[in-house]
Amino acid sequence: MAEATVWLIILGGMVVTYLTRLSFILLVPPERVTRVFHRGLKYIPPAVLTAILLPELVIRNGALDFSFSNHRLVAGLVAALVAWRLRNTWLTIAAGMVALWLLMSL
Amino acid sequence: MSIRNDASLTARREFLTGVRDQLPLLLGVIPFGLIFGALALSAGIRPLAAHGFSLFVFAGSAQFIAAGLIGEMASAVVVVATIFLVNLRHALYSASLAPFLAHLPRAWKLALAWLLTDEAFAMASTRYRRGNLQNAHWYTLGTGLTLWAAWQVSTVVGIALGTSLPPSLSLDFALPLTFLALVVPTLVSRPALAAALVAGILALLLRSFPFRLGLLIAAIVGVGIGLWAESVARTRGRSRDG
């Protein structure tokens, strides 16, 4: 990709990110937004994060792979268990990485 | 000692407490920054631009996805739109902190908004629940600046190390794992679970769409399903009450 395009992405990324962070702190008084918007906001993290995450775990070489030989899926399930039980970002990442390394070394 | 000095002492103490409380989270942030630096280079991004992301966008997960999309030659519009969608959760943080920052001068609002990340928000919202808020904005500044500095330094080191991080370590897997750690605590209700499930399944079904447009569609439909499930649950609750 052209260097200028990458800088354009950085500039655009900066503007959209800063606008979301500034939104209610400076730009929009909280009482001005519709209730549907407020209610919808809370579904953005689960929807967006899952949509990014799931293909990373179950797509292997361009196809769906729900088998045990899909190391990333198995390691992801281990990490999900840790995330669910312990609610700790660092331990979740560590457990998933260690699980993947163990599976790859088998 | 004058009242003014007392106040500034408290401000300093708040700031340092914010710094200290943020330190454990750096265990997760620093490896993440290292990997981002390496990943950006392997996506064909030049070192200066790679750090430009950390300096100007300053949003870990969005930076990872942007680097991935750039590596796949997605169009600039799709990359920026994806960054926007991935970072929309910051609007929620913004709405949540706004009442506590309302009394501050504009410069403070501009600075604290710039530093508003997942981790800084997590620490700040805990602080605001504790009360005694006269100088709490110094705490928020301390926690935000600590994360900012760690992110800048670790990205630079990651860019310097670059491809010397061996691919056999599969460090790129830390990205989906981070999302896993962030998404699991959001699945607190049936509507949230429905939003996640539908978005995840749609992302799989629509994965062959160009420029990862399937991801955007999946996310938007998922949010719609969450809202729908919420209103269904509310109607049921109401008819049960009535």
* Domains of chain A: total: 2
Q: Are residues A61 and A14 in the same domain?
A: no
- Are the C-beta atoms of residues B109 and A25 closer than 8 Å to each other? yes
Q: Does A6 touch chain B (CB under 8 A)?
A: yes
Residues 38..77 of A with a Cβ closer than 8 Å to B: which?
38-59, 64, 72, 75-76
Chain A residues touching residue B52 (CB < 8 angstroms): 6-7, 10
Note whether B226 contacts A47, CB cutoff 8 Å: yes
pLDDT of B7 reads 61
Per-residue pLDDT of B183-227, as tens digits, reads 888 898 999 999 999 999 999 999 888 666 788 789 889 999 999
Q: Does A85 touch chain B (CB under 8 A)?
A: no
Q: Are residues A53 and A9 in the same domain?
A: no
- Are the C-beta atoms of residues B155 and A55 closer than 8 Å to each other? no
CA distance A46 to chain B (A): 5
Note whether B176 contacts A88, CB cutoff 8 Å: no
Q: Are residues A67 and A91 in the same domain?
A: yes
Surface-to-core class of residue B25, CB atoms within 10 Å of its CB (0-12 exposed, 13-18 middle, 19+ buried): buried
| Residue A61, number of CB atoms within 10 A of its CB | 5
At B192, which amino acid appears? A
ipTM over 0.85: no
Phi, psi of B154 (to 5 degrees): -65, -35
Q: Are residues A29 and A63 in the same domain?
A: no
Per-residue pLDDT of B126-183, as tens digits, reads 788 888 889 999 999 999 999 999 999 999 999 999 877 777 778 778 778 877 887 8
pLDDT of B1 reads 42
Q: Are residues A13 and A64 in the same domain?
A: no
Q: Are residues A59 and A105 in the same domain?
A: yes
- Are the C-beta atoms of residues B176 and A83 closer than 8 Å to each other? no
CA distance A29 to chain B (A): 9
Q: Are residues A72 and A28 in the same domain?
A: no
Q: Are residues A19 and A49 in the same domain?
A: no
Q: Are residues A48 and A30 in the same domain?
A: no
Q: Are residues A22 and A67 in the same domain?
A: no
Helices A89-105 and B174-183: crossing angle in degrees, nearest 10, is 140
pTM of the model: 0.72
Q: Are residues A51 and A88 in the same domain?
A: yes
Residues 36..95 of B with a Cβ closer than 8 Å to A: which?
44-46, 49, 52-53, 56-59, 61-62, 65-66, 70, 73, 76, 79-80, 83-95
Test the B interface: residue of A89, A104, A105 with most B CBs within 10 Å: A89
Non-local (6+) Cβ contacts of B123 within 8 A are: B18, B21, B22, B25, B139, B140, B143
Per-residue pLDDT for chain A (106 aa), expressed as one digit of tens each? Answer: 889 999 999 999 999 999 999 999 999 876 777 777 778 877 877 888 899 889 999 999 889 999 999 999 999 999 999 999 998 877 888 899 999 999 999 8
Q: Does B26 touch chain A (CB under 8 A)?
A: no
Q: Are residues A60 and A83 in the same domain?
A: yes
Q: Which of B17, B5, B1 is nearest to B140 (CA)?
A: B17
Per-residue pLDDT of B46-86, as tens digits, reads 999 999 999 999 998 889 889 988 988 889 998 999 899 88
Q: Which of B141, B104, B119 is nearest to B60 (CA)?
A: B119
Structural domain boundaries, residue A77: 43-106
